[in-house]
């Protein structure tokens, strides 16, 4: 009986392995259940967790009353052949935006999970009989059905190993950065604009220094460790560390790792409000960067941000203020001119009445703030006005952050990365100034806590004043945007609701005119798919 049993579960093993990949994909996007984010995702997505068609395994229980082993084996094979084919076809239809990354951690997880899949099968093979075969199949079916939870067992088993791996890389990074005595370390944090600010600062400083930023959005402890261990070398003059946070203490943890002497806070908004609990907690956490600087350090703050102006800093380091609207700042931009070709502005320095004209390819007021922060810190590093101008002029657009992409008679304004209320409004302002037809594609904004509905509704009213056509991605998630559009009396014939962003592009081709600008505002991870 054991031989027949092992042959019959071949397709089952293939199915469970594929299901495990999908579970790992969600686990990875939820930061391996750090701060229980994966469990929270399962709780919010019960339909995906519990309404999977693999529940059809319960039909095998009928064979408790049907004494036909051959038919039972055939039904089991056909069931998991059907489920496997359905899963493969569903994968092709879904086309995940961010695929599973086969990192060393994921490979360790796959190894452990594979053992967990095979272990009960091997044990059953020693005890399986025609009498208990149906119960063996039902147990295996339950394991497959609860795969989203089963993967957590593999994660738990691997925890001690991952802790040791993390400790090894942490100690290695700490030792390396301490050995680089002349290295200037800059920390950048904020609710949004961190990556843009980091890349802008890097382009500016590279005019004079050999600067190294954290790659992409490597803004976690492990991301910083990877950058230090793999990218910094003896030729690096400046290390720019992007610092992300989703709860109090996260920035302090990063500062204890890299010990920055310089710090920039971009803007304090409502990103991750659901995990922080309040704007005050966000404010306090962001200022962990400034309060971790040494007494001879320099902090760059935004004078137009009330949440930065109102904070009582518990540090006596030097503070430099930047701004556009505020006059009482150290570095200020005025006479800002936006055009499809970029931005021009006059820059004033405190104590110097002479305006200095700066030009950049970048769009939007948010980027002006980020450039001002780079200029302010560049001055602290001894860069001349001409060097700063050259740096600003060569700054490149950051991927998915108001990035212009021309495609025939359609120009895409790609602002798909992590939308927020202030940035979304500024992106609409950029769209509005473009000549031609205006289309917005958006799934709305997330992680805004109790204010998520109201802010998305407000976003809908802003869209109504800026766009000729609206494409909403996800009927459930975009309900508040739809309500805001209707409140403004927007033509419902120009509102298009789809469930997959990939369907937006054929639709754009139908809606376009001779000159069309399309704003892609936010692109939610696969964990937010409504399909």
On whether both 291 and 352 belong to a single domain, the answer is yes
Whole-number pLDDT of residue 528? 43
On whether both 439 and 322 belong to a single domain, the answer is no
Rounded distance between C-alpha atoms, residue 101 and residue 94, angstroms: 17
On whether both 245 and 294 belong to a single domain, the answer is yes
Query: Is-contact 238 267, C-beta < 8 A?
Result: no
Rounded distance between C-alpha atoms, residue 512 and residue 441, angstroms: 13
On whether both 191 and 157 belong to a single domain, the answer is no
Looking at the structure of the chain, the number of domains it has is: 3
Rounded distance between C-alpha atoms, residue 60 and residue 80, angstroms: 12
On whether both 327 and 449 belong to a single domain, the answer is no
On whether both 291 and 381 belong to a single domain, the answer is yes
* One-character DSSP codes across 289-311: HHTTS-TT-EEEEETT-HHHHT-
Q: What are the CA-CA distances from residue 147 to residues 81, 100, 117, 142, 330 (Å)?
A: 17, 17, 10, 8, 56
- Beta bridge partners, 325, equal none
- Provide the CATH number for the domain around residue 388: 3.40.1190.10
Name which of 128, 129, 149 is nearest 54 in CA terms.
149
Q: Which domain holds residue 407?
A: 403-528
Name which of 353, 360, 363, 354 is nearest 374 in CA terms.
360
On whether both 143 and 286 belong to a single domain, the answer is no
Tokens at residue 380, please?
């602290």
Domain finish residue from 95, 127, 161: 161
Cβ contacts of 189 within 8 Å, gap of 6 or more = 242, 243, 244, 245, 251, 263, 264, 265, 266, 286, 289
DSSP state, residue 400: T
The answer to whether position 475 is within a domain reads yes
* One-character DSSP codes across 452-477: HHHHHHHHHHHHHTT-SEEEEE-TTT
On whether both 338 and 244 belong to a single domain, the answer is yes
The answer to whether position 507 is within a domain reads yes
Cβ contacts of 154 within 8 Å, gap of 6 or more = 109, 112, 113, 116
Cβ contacts of 201 within 8 Å, gap of 6 or more = 186, 188, 211, 213, 240, 264, 370, 373, 374, 377
3-state secondary structure of 206: coil
Starting from the edge strand earliest in sequence, which strands make up the sheet with 469-473, in order? 403-407, 410-415, 516-521, 437-442, 469-473, 495-498
The answer to whether position 222 is within a domain reads yes
Q: What is the pTM of this model?
A: 0.77
Cβ contacts of 458 within 8 Å, gap of 6 or more = 421, 484
On whether both 409 and 386 belong to a single domain, the answer is no
Low-confidence ranges of the chain (pLDDT < 70): 94-98, 418-419, 524-531
pLDDT tens readout for residues 466-485: 899 999 988 888 999 999 99
The answer to whether position 512 is within a domain reads yes
The answer to whether position 168 is within a domain reads no
On whether both 353 and 432 belong to a single domain, the answer is no
Whole-number pLDDT of residue 514? 84
Angle at 97 between CA 96 and CA 100, to 5 degrees: 65
Query: Is-contact 198 214, C-beta < 8 A?
Result: yes
Name which of 499, 457, 447, 452 is nearest 480 in CA terms.
457
On whether both 516 and 476 belong to a single domain, the answer is yes
Domain finish residue from 394, 426, 446: 394
- Provide the CATH number for the domain around residue 519: 3.90.190.20
The answer to whether position 166 is within a domain reads no
Burial class of residue 486 (count of CB atoms within 10 Å of its CB; 0-12, 13-18, 19+):
middle
Tokens at residue 8, please?
């019959």
Rounded distance between C-alpha atoms, residue 104 and residue 423, angstroms: 35
Cβ contacts of 333 within 8 Å, gap of 6 or more = 323, 324, 345, 346, 347, 348, 358, 368, 371, 372
Domain finish residue from 394, 411, 437: 394
The answer to whether position 92 is within a domain reads yes
On whether both 150 and 223 belong to a single domain, the answer is no
The answer to whether position 174 is within a domain reads no
Cβ contacts of 238 within 8 Å, gap of 6 or more = 183, 184, 185, 186, 205, 209, 210, 211, 212, 381
pLDDT tens readout for residues 479-503: 999 999 999 999 999 999 988 777 8
Whole-number pLDDT of residue 40? 81
């Amino acid at each position: 009986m054991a031989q027949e049993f092992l042959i019959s579960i071949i397709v089952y093993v293939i199915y469970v392995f594929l299901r495990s990949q999908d579970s790992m994909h969600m686990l990875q996007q939820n930061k391996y259940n750090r701060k229980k984010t994966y469990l929270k995702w399962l709780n919010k997505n019960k339909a995906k967790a519990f309404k999977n068609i693999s529940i059809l395994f319960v039909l095998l229980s009928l064979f408790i009353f049907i004494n036909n082993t051959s038919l039972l084996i055939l039904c089991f094979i056909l069931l998991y052949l059907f489920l496997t084919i359905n899963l493969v076809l569903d994968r092709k239809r879904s086309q995940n935006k961010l695929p599973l990354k086969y990192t060393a951690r994921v490979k360790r997880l796959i190894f452990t999970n594979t053992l967990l899949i095979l272990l009960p099968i091997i044990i059953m093979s020693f005890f399986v009989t025609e009498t208990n075969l149906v119960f063996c199949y039902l147990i295996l079916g339950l394991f497959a059905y609860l795969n989203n939870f089963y993967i957590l067992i593999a994660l738990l088993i691997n925890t001690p190993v991952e802790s040791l791996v993390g400790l090894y890389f942490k100690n290695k990074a700490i030792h390396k950065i301490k050995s680089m005595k002349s290295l200037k370390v800059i920390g950048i944090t904020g609710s949004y604009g961190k990556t843009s600010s980091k890349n802008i600062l890097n382009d500016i400083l590279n005019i004079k220094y050999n600067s190294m930023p954290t790659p992409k959005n490597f803004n976690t402890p492990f991301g910083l460790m990877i950058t230090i261990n793999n990218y910094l070398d003896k030729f690096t003059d400046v290390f720019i560390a992007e610092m992300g946070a989703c709860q109090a203490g996260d920035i302090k943890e990063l500062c204890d790792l890299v010990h920055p002497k310089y710090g920039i806070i971009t803007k304090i908004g409502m990103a991750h409000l659901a995990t922080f609990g309040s704007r005050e907690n966000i404010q306090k956490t962001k200022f962990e960067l400034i309060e971790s600087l040494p007494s001879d350090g320099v902090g760059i703050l935004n004078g137009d941000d009330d949440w930065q102006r109102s904070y009582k800093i518990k540090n006596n380091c030097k503070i430099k203020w930047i701004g556009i609207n505020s006059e009482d700042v150290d570095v200020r931009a005025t006479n800002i001119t936006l055009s499809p070709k970029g931005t021009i502005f006059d820059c004033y320095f405190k104590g110097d009445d002479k305006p200095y004209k700066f030009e950049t390819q970048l769009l939007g007021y948010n980027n002006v703030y980020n450039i001002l922060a780079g200029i302010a810190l560049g001055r602290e590093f001894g860069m001349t006005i001409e060097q700063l101008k050259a740096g600003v002029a060569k700054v490149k657009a950051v991927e998915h952050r108001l990035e212009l992409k021309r495609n025939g008679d359609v120009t895409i304004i790609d602002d798909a990365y992590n939308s927020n209320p202030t940035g979304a409004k500024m992106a609409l302002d950029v769209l509005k100034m473009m000549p031609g037809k205006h289309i917005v594609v958006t799934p709305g904004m997330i992680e805004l806590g109790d204010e998520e509905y109201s802010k998305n509704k407000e976003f809908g009213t802003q869209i109504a004043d800026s766009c000729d056509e609206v494409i909403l991605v996800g009927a459930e998630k975009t309900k508040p945007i739809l309500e805001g559009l209707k409140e403004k009396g927007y033509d419902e014939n120009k509102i298009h609701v789809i469930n997959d962003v990939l369907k937006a592009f054929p639709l754009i081709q139908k809606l376009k005119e001779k000159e069309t600008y399309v704003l892609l505002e936010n692109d939610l991870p696969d964990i937010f798919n409504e399909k």
